[in-house]
Every structure is written in structure tokens, then in C-alpha cells.
Structure 1
Amino acid sequence: MANVTFIGLGRMGLGMAQRLLAAGHRLRVYNRTASRATSLVERGATLCPSPKEAAQGAELIFSMVSDDAASREVWLGAAGVFGGTPSAGTLLIECSTLSHDWVLDLAGEARRRSLSYIDCPVTGLPDMAAAGELTLLAGAAPEDLARAQPILDVLSKQTIHFGAVGAGTVYKLMINLQGAIQIASIAEGMALAERAGLNLHAVAETLATGQAASPQVVRTARRIVADDHDQNVLFTPQLRLKDVDYALRLARKLKIGTPFGTVAHAAYAKLCALGHGHSNESKIIEVARVQED
């Protein structure tokens, strides 16, 4: 069994850490809100007061945090992992959805310390994290990924290797940008059906079997019908806006046009400005319900 550190126990991270602990690994954890670790500590994990202390003696260090700023603090902050002395060859596995530029910068910092870095964002929902059914999107040197794979298998149903460090993040930003466009567009369609007086239950169920169906479209349409955007929050507008912003930055760097992504970004920005940044992202129906002058 390995000495594993897990940093970030949010909706996804907690389930992932539970999987590692259940597999018998020796687990040290850190989270800004320490109470999130209670169930892990009760089952044998060690809660640490900082990322630096959590990383002591680790063979693998996972991070699952919200954005570039949180990731930078975890690794480079005053009490960050790099403030300690991880052993040469320690595997750093960043599962957060981050900007491509920061992933490359962070990988460079790791190399300068003779550490091995894998960018490994995930797809899946919190219940899939708890069940070990995530899909991992890896950018890594093949030998580093091979070393990490036995541990990654505890977390996932598959690991897809897209190429060198940064490639996993490129795919994750691409797919999250596509998701934002799909969700914004189905909200617009549902608002149209609602205003025209259609039975929204029938609309949502018909969508589920039609050619426009995707898991995100179906899930969002059903959440709009249920009107339960402030319960069982799976993914927030604030996080989606962050991901779209990172994707558009990458597109600009690569000189790719993003007319649809730009419109979706504006819709999520408006939703957050209306005070709904922490609801479920299906709340974007509220933006579609209001016609601009």
C-alpha cells in the first residue's frame, strides 16, 4: 500500500479520497474547511493543518481544488507542498480543472524539484467519484503514468492518455466549453417551450430520446422541469464560468474562433451577476427567460 496525500475535499475530492482510503492506502489529507475530513479521519486518515505537512512522506500527492488561485496556494503558498521537501520522483497528480498556462508553469516547477507531474482532470459527477467510476484525462510522460496507474485505477473506470503534460487539460477545457454551450442552448430551448405553453415534462422526456440528446442536455432539461436548482447542486455556474474562461484563454492562445463559447460565457457571467453563482448550473434558464432590449 502507498503513502498518499489528498488535498481538496470538495464534492469530487471527498469521494476520491474515500476510494483511496477504502483501498487500504495510508492517507494524509488537507482541506481548508477541516470538518470536511471528519468521515475520512474516522476511517483512519490523518488530517493535516497545511498542504506542506500533508505531503510529508508521500509517494503520490493528489490535488482537487477549484481554480488556478487555489492550486497556486496549495503548491507554492507559504504553507504549500513545495515549502517542504518532497522526495525526488514523487508523483504530483493535479486533478483540478485549471488553465493550460498554469498547468505548464506548475509542471515546470515540479521538474525543477525533480518531481514527476501528471495533469489529470476528471469527468464525472460526485456519485461517480464515490463509486470509482470517473474518467481520468491524463497528460503525462508514459513512464510516470505507468507508475501512477495502479492508484488511478482505484478512482476510475478508465484513464485516457492524451499526450504530454498539458494535454489532459486541453481536452478537459474543450469538453467543458462544449458542455457550457449545450447547457446554455437547452435552457434557451426550454424557455421557448415554456413560454409557448408546451408541457415541459413531455419536452424533457422527448428530448431524452431525440437526436439532440446528450447526458448534459437530458440532465439539464430535467432539472429545469423539476425547478430544483438550489438543491443537490452538482456543478455551479461559478465553476462553469471559470472553466469557460480558461478554455477561451486557450483558444485565443491557439488563435481559434469561439463565437458560441463567447455567448455561453456571457450567459454564465450574467447568471453569476444575478446572484446565482452557487446554484446548480441549470439555473441558467433564468437568463433565457428574459429578453434583452
Structure 2
Amino acid sequence: MRVAFLGLGRMGSGMAGRLLAAGHDLSVWNRTPSRTDLLVALGATAAATPREAAGGADAVVAMLADDHASRRAWLGADPGGESHADGVLDATPNPGALAIECSTLSHGWVSELTGRATAAGWRYLDCPVTGLPDAAASGRLTLLVGADATDLDAARPILEPLSDKVIHFGAPGAGTAYKLIVNLLGAIQIGSAAEALALAERAGLDLAQVVDALSTSQAASPQVVRTIRRMLADDADAEVTFSGRLRRKDAAYALDLARAIGGRTPFADVSLAGLDALLAAGRGDANETAIIEIARRAPEEHR
């Protein structure tokens, strides 16, 4: 299939490489053009705009940072700004082309994009993912899909090289709703884990022993175990697999969804406040495990 891939960050570059290795004819676009160089050397074609990448495509896959980047790529215009007519929906794809949005976006924008893409003749799938960059590069992502079942079947030749698990939650928008919920739960777990380790330090406990004990306790979710081990290693600047800024973005989108559907989120509200403090401290681009720095603050520092 002829596939256009938009967004070559930590996740997107590995995903695009998987599609290329699977034999798809790949056109790639990234806001910073130099990020396309490695894939071009492996056989991909670089496009100057999302519209160019999507022209004549059987499918477009996007893996972008947020609503703003996604809107710019699909519509060719900034919110409320001038149209540049260089977005995916300005292109002429092959008949029945698939629009596969893998970014973690707000539910409101996904709903809008679903309508716009469908009206333009695309078959739309929201397909956010779970997994870290190493899973993206090795095809071990879990895909959280909202799509018509027939569209999902048509997309499987593209999705299979990316993943070892596909969960179909329902119609477009359902995959995004689940992704926001699970990432909000992750934010709460990470903040709670940071608070627990900070309390253990204040209590004079050996932190390495605490981490070992927690890792086999009833509280030991995969998220908690990965988080506390990185907090113990104090390596938030060494390898940024998921930044505090991105976690804060996802949590805020989830809270927007909760407000839209009438959900209560007292624990999530506290988690978001901690992430806001992390960004205010200038640590938003460190790995999200830097949140322990906020938990370690003396009580008077939180006033």
C-alpha cells in the first residue's frame, strides 16, 4: 500500500520504520525536515507538506504531539488562523483511503476531525497507542481503535506491523476516550508513586529496599514498577521516554472529556496540579518521573 506517515518524533520514527520494513511504499513528512533523513536513506520519500505526502495515498498515519499539530497537519490551518491549503484533507488520495490518527488528542478535536475526514471521503480511524519508543520500533504497540469494523479490517495490513495487540473499542472516538482515561490513571499512579517514595525518604527508610518491596506488592502495577525504578535511579534527564509536558497534556485532555460528560475527577485534579508544578519548575521536558522532585518539596514550598 502507498502510505503517508506524518510525525517522526520518538514514537513516529519507529512506527514509520516498521511500515517501511513491511514493504509499504512510504512517504514521510515532519515539521523538522531533517528528521526524515534516516527513513529516506532506507527507501522512504520525503514530502514537503502533509498534502504532498497524502497525494495518491491509500492511507495516512499521523503520530503528532497534540491538537494543534494534528489540526495543522490535517487541515493545513492553525485554529482560527489563515489556511495554507497544504493539509492532508486538501490532498487527493486513492479511492477509499484510510485516515489513521495515532496521536493522543482531545476527544473534541477527534470528533471534529472524524466529521471533516469523512465528509472529504476518507475512512477515519482513531487509533491511539500504548507503549514506549522501543515498542514502537519493534512492532509491539497496543492499538486502541475507534472505527467502523470494515474500516478496521481494511487497515490491518498497516496496523499489523506496528502492534502485537489491537483492541477495538467501538466507533470513531472510542479509542481516544479509552486512551485519555488510561493515561489519566497513569498520571495519578505516577504522582502517587512519587509521593510514596518521598514519604519513605522522610521516614528514613532505605529507598532501594522500598522499591524492591513495592515492586512485588499489591500496589505493583507495571506503571508503578517502571516509575519507582526510574525515580530510584534519578535518571529523569538521561532518557526521556515520556515527558512531564506530554503527560500534563494528556491529563488535561482527559479532564476536558470528564467535564463534557459530567464525570467527577478529584484525584485527577490533584495529579494535574502536580504536573502544573513540574512545568512551572522548568522540568516539563524531563521524563515524567521528575515529578518526585515536586513530591520531595517541604510543606511550606507547596503554599
Same fold (TM over 0.5): yes
Q: Which residue of 2 aligns with 1:35?
A: 34
The answer to whether residue 235 in structure 2 is matched with residue 228 in structure 1 is yes
Match of 2:180 among 162, 173, 185: 173
Q: Tell me the alpha carbon deviations over residues 102-136 of structure 1, each in whole angstroms, 9 at most, x when there is no partner.
A: 00100100111111000000000000011100000
Structure 2, unpaired ranges of 5+:
77-83
Give, in angstroms, the shift of residue 205 of structure 1. 1.3
Match of 1:208 among 206, 212, 215: 215
Q: Which residue of 1 aligns with 2:51?
A: 52
Q: Which residue of 1 aligns with 2:152?
A: 145
Give, in angstroms, the shift of residue 87 of structure 1. 3.4
Give, in angstroms, the shift of residue 151 of structure 1. 1.5
Give, in angstroms, the shift of residue 204 of structure 1. 1.0
| Partner secondary structure for residue 23 of structure 2 | coil
Q: Which residue of 2 aligns with 1:198?
A: 205
Contact 2:56 2:92 in 1 (8 A): no
* C-alpha RMSD of the superposition: 0.8
| Partner secondary structure for residue 74 of structure 1 | helix
Match of 2:269 among 262, 271, 289: 262
Q: Which residue of 2 aligns with 1:133?
A: 140
Q: Which residue of 1 aligns with 2:61?
A: 62
Contact 2:208 2:232 in 1 (8 A): yes
Contact 2:75 2:87 in 1 (8 A): yes
| Partner secondary structure for residue 142 of structure 2 | strand
The answer to whether residue 184 in structure 2 is matched with residue 185 in structure 1 is no
Contact 1:87 1:115 in 2 (8 A): no
| Partner secondary structure for residue 157 of structure 1 | strand
| Partner secondary structure for residue 27 of structure 1 | strand
Q: Which residue of 2 aligns with 1:85?
A: 92
Q: Tell me the alpha carbon deviations over residues 181-216 of structure 1, each in whole angstroms, 9 at most, x when there is no partner.
A: 000000000001112221111111111111000111
How far, CA to CA, are the matches of 1:211 and 1:37 in structure 2? 44
Q: Which residue of 2 aligns with 1:17?
A: 16
Give, in angstroms, the shift of residue 88 of structure 1. 3.7
The answer to whether residue 176 in structure 2 is matched with residue 160 in structure 1 is no
| Partner secondary structure for residue 62 of structure 1 | strand
Contact 2:140 2:162 in 1 (8 A): yes
Give, in angstroms, the shift of residue 38 of structure 1. 1.6
Q: Which residue of 2 aligns with 1:7?
A: 6
Query: What is the identity, as a one-letter code, of the residue corresponding to 1:259?
Result: P
More displaced 10-residue stretch of structure 1: 283-292 or 60-69: 283-292
Q: Which residue of 2 aligns with 1:124?
A: 131
Give, in angstroms, the shift of residue 222 of structure 1. 0.8
Percent identical among aligned pairs is 58
Match of 1:105 among 100, 104, 112: 112
Query: What is the identity, as a one-letter code, of the residue corresponding to 2:238?
Result: Q
Query: What is the identity, as a one-letter code, of the residue corresponding to 1:183?
Result: I
Scaled by the length of structure 1, the TM-score of the pair is 0.98
| Partner secondary structure for residue 191 of structure 1 | helix
How far, CA to CA, are the matches of 1:15 and 1:253 in structure 2? 34
Q: Which residue of 1 aligns with 2:73?
A: 74
How far, CA to CA, are the matches of 1:272 and 1:256 in structure 2? 26
Scaled by the length of structure 2, the TM-score of the pair is 0.95
Query: What is the identity, as a one-letter code, of the residue corresponding to 2:284?
Result: G
How far, CA to CA, are the matches of 2:254 and 2:50 in structure 1? 28
Contact 1:88 1:113 in 2 (8 A): no
Query: What is the identity, as a one-letter code, of the residue corresponding to 1:270?
Result: A
Contact 1:110 1:116 in 2 (8 A): yes
Q: Tell me the alpha carbon deviations over residues 77-102 of structure 1, each in whole angstroms, 9 at most, x when there is no partner.
A: 12211122223421000000000010
How far, CA to CA, are the matches of 2:53 and 2:120 in structure 1? 18
Give, in angstroms, the shift of residue 155 of structure 1. 0.4
